[in-house]
Structure 1
Amino acid sequence: MKHKTLLVNEKEVKGHTWSKAEEIEHCRKKLIDAEHVNKLYCDVYEIPPGKANWPLHFHTCNEEVFYITEGHGEVVTENGVSKVKPGDILRFPAGEKGVHQLKNTSDSETLKYLDVGTNVFPDVVFMPADKQIELFEGTSGQDKIWSYND
């Protein structure tokens, strides 16, 4: 049913929390489930105060676009650090030029954003600060099949 038109209400989608170490944490709502994902995925992320969404990383095959809907923070890219606020749109191309990490700099507000991206798998994800490489397959984008940590 990948070509079926969908109507999804974010408030009716259950979120799943993921964390890594003390500085990385997010709640992800997959607005388009694996059964319906075709060329694009669409998720809503919420980052708690003082946390980052993921380690600094880039994808070899997939592009991402973030639309900030709530809260304030900063994004780390190859160009340095920039502040973000509601209404900002961030685009990350595939490859090293698309390296990114989104951080919530608030002490009390959640940073919320819409994440829309391409759905090309397998996708190799590099995390240069962690010296880690991961290989993902499948339409969910969460099917990690291999990981290397230096």
Structure 2
Amino acid sequence: MSVYDLPPGEAIGPYHFEWTDEEWLIALEGQVTIRTPESEQVLDPGEVMCFPTGPEGAHQVRNANDVPVRVAIFSTKNEFGIVEYPENEQVGIWAGETHYMLDRPTK
């Protein structure tokens, strides 16, 4: 589990989805804005959201407020991870301490 303190206007990385690990987010302090394929939602402290694997679980977590917010994120963990960044047309691959960022192949 990781805890993030987000200053106003900051995000936890770009819009992305996981191919290998389901992620869960708990809003701890302040209102956090979550972008998903369907819409943007605001979570209040204590609210939870799940990001399933694959494109339907795409998300970006950000602070759209003028005060800091705090969130906790935890996930299933595999020996390797594959994350796709659809707007950047990149794929990240993690295997232990090794990390690769690749341009997504064109069809």
Regions of 4+ moved over 3 Å: none
Q: Identity of paired residues, percent?
A: 28
Q: 1-side partners of 2:98 and 2:19: how far apart?
A: 15
TM-score computed with the length of structure 2 as normaliser: 0.89
TM-score computed with the length of structure 1 as normaliser: 0.65
Are 1:124 and 2:78 counterparts? no
Are 1:113 and 2:71 counterparts? yes
Aligned-pair distance for 1:129? Answer: 1.1
CA deviation profile, 1:21-70 (whole Å, cap 9, x unmatched): xxxxxxxxxxxxxxxxxxxxx11111111111110000100011111000
Partner of 1:86: 45
Are 1:149 and 2:103 counterparts? yes
The number of equivalent residue pairs is 104
Aligned-pair distance for 1:144? Answer: 4.4
Is the CA contact 1:56–1:100 (under 8 Å) kept in the aligned structure 2? yes
Pick the structure with greater CA Rg: 1
> CA, structure 1 residues 57+144, in 2 after alignment: closer, same or farther (shift >3 Å)?
farther
Q: Which amino acid aligns with 1:66?
A: L
Q: Which amino acid aligns with 2:2?
A: D
Q: 2-side partners of 1:127 and 1:149: how far apart?
A: 10
Which has the bigger relative contact order, CA under 8 A and spacing at least 6? 2
